[in-house]
Amino acid sequence: MLGFGYRAVPAAPFPYDSEVSLHTCVLLALALLQGPAGAPATPAAGSETNIVSLVARAPVTSKAVLLILALFSAISWGVILYKMWQFQRAQRQSTSFLEIFRRSSKFSEVQAVCRTLAESPLVGIFQAGYAELTAQLKSASQPSNPGRPGEPTARPTLKSLDALDRALLRASGVEVTRLEKRVTFLATTASITPFIGLFGTVWGIMSSFQQIAAQSSTSLAVVAPGIADALIATAAGLFAAIPAVYFYNQFTQQVKAFVQAMEDFSLEFLTIAERNFT
């Protein structure tokens, strides 16, 4: 560096050379930028830790991992918003349907409003039970040996209460499947995305070790960017998995509540049918 190893010259006057002075200033500036022992200049704070720059500098494999995680996250948030909307409508319409069902004196009156409350799982169960009940009563009202003309016909009765129960059970299964649709994707996201992020992290660390071997340097300036690139994949995996786990548990509890409501309604329907048609 300048300032070491020069020897004194006589104090004889010499002409001032502007080009030599400018050259000396440039060398001093470069020496200050390089730091001690000729170390390379450090980048400005934040230029290497900005997430956008880290993603842009990441290798192709890391970018592919981040793209996959972004797709999982976007689809899972779409499922979350859709199921929230669906469950809110189902809960609201189920409350309205139960009020109408318990206030009405005929099943035909309830059947008339089912089309406007189709989001409620109770509507599907009622329609299945009503169809089975109607079919049994129609067959019971047409006896094979009709009585004498003018003789009052017997009151139609159910042939099989067990058949009605089975119809309600089948309808309950269909409604549960409809409620659980797409919820399993959240479980898949919660299970897979952390491992995808871990794969991206491992791959990034491997790339960092390759850079260390190529540059023959273990300084923090060489290792830190690659490690930061690798850890972004882990963070992205957790970002996709944590909301999926939370809302999967929430939706599972809501489905269980709907299942309980459907079982209670099926028992109530069977009780009414047994009381009036047996």
Q: What pLDDT does 58 receive? A: 65
Residue 113, CB-side half-sphere exposure with 13 Å CA sphere: 17
End-to-end CA distance of the chain: 108
Residue 271: its H or E element: helix 220-277
Q: What pLDDT does 221 receive? A: 62
Q: How far apart are CA 154 and CA 4, in angstroms?
A: 123
Task: Summarize pLDDT for 132-149 with one digit per residue, the tens.
Answer: 999 888 876 665 555 555
Q: What pLDDT does 127 receive? A: 94
What is the 8-class DSSP label of residue 144?
S
pTM: 0.71
pLDDT at 107 over 80: yes
Pull the structure tokens for residue 268.
């109530």
Name which of 51-55, 84-88, 202-206 the model is least confident about: 51-55
Q: How far apart are CA 56 and CA 225, in angstroms?
A: 12
Task: Summarize pLDDT for 112-132 with one digit per residue, the tens.
Answer: 999 999 999 999 999 999 999
Neighbouring C-beta atoms of residue 100, cutoff 10 Å: 15
Task: Give the chain's length.
Answer: 278
Q: Contact 233/62 with Cβ under 8 angstroms?
A: yes
Q: How far apart are CA 3 and CA 6, in angstroms?
A: 7
